[in-house]
Amino acid sequence: MTRLLLCALVFICVVGCGQEDVANIRAGALLTAETTATEAGFNAEVVLCRRIGSKTGKRIAIGDSFVENPKKKNRYIHAFLDVTGAPLGVHQIHLVWIKPEGKEMFRKSAEVTVTETTEGFATDVIWFKAEDLHDRDADETRLGDSPDFTLYARLNVAPRKERVPGEYAFRAYWNRELLVDKAFILETPDRS
């Protein structure tokens, strides 16, 4: 009985501490010896756009309202999760597209590891599939002066996909807690 109570207490502390850490991170207030680099504070922002410059990588046609388009270069809505001042450690991030009725359409998941190096900071991103957690695809390590990184996802809105017009959302979860929720409108062109 004592062992069972002890296990329950440890479980509650671990789960409770994890939720509290996420709340502190979201408020930009997690200050530990390992997170000395987050002086500017933790921040995450979602940017939605229609196109990406092929030579520059520049985000083109940024907005929160998009019209369905059959042209190949305009058939996607691109989402960028820009994270600045990330705390050191390993973090689970989920990028989720939500339908107008509130149901999940697609999910992209990553394990992001932020470490401090002698030259600055290193960020390793490993993408994995929900259906097969062993199927992993690693991005190239990103090195920088600060613990900042960007994650990317896209949604195909070509007419053949027959997406319902309405208010969609793009959500980012940080260690299983909602971090950012960005709504956007998808419209169909006037066909009259």
Q: Quick: pLDDT tens for 73-102.
A: 678 999 999 999 999 999 999 999 999 999
The answer to whether residues 60 and 52 touch, using CB atoms and an 8 Å cutoff, is yes
pLDDT tens digits, one per residue of 41-77: 899 999 999 999 989 999 999 999 998 877 766 789 9
Q: How many domains does the chain have?
A: 1
The answer to whether residues 164 and 99 touch, using CB atoms and an 8 Å cutoff, is yes
Query: Does residue 153 sit within a domain?
Result: yes
Query: Does residue 150 sit within a domain?
Result: yes
The answer to whether residues 18 and 175 touch, using CB atoms and an 8 Å cutoff, is yes
- Residue 129: count of CB within 10 angstroms of its CB: 13
Mean pLDDT (whole number) for 23-28? 46
Alpha-carbon Rg for the chain in angstroms: 19
Token pair recorded at residue 3:
């062992």
The pTM assigned to this predicted structure is: 0.75
SS3 13: helix
Domain of 131, CATH number, reads 2.60.40.1930
Query: Does residue 192 sit within a domain?
Result: no
User: What are φ and ψ of residue 35, in 5° steps?
Assistant: -110, 40
Query: Does residue 156 sit within a domain?
Result: yes
pLDDT tens digits, one per residue of 107-164: 999 999 999 999 999 999 999 876 665 666 788 889 999 999 999 999 999 888 889 9
The answer to whether residues 154 and 2 touch, using CB atoms and an 8 Å cutoff, is no
Query: Does residue 73 sit within a domain?
Result: yes
Cα–Cα distance between 68 and 162 in angstroms, integer?
9
73: containing domain? 2-187
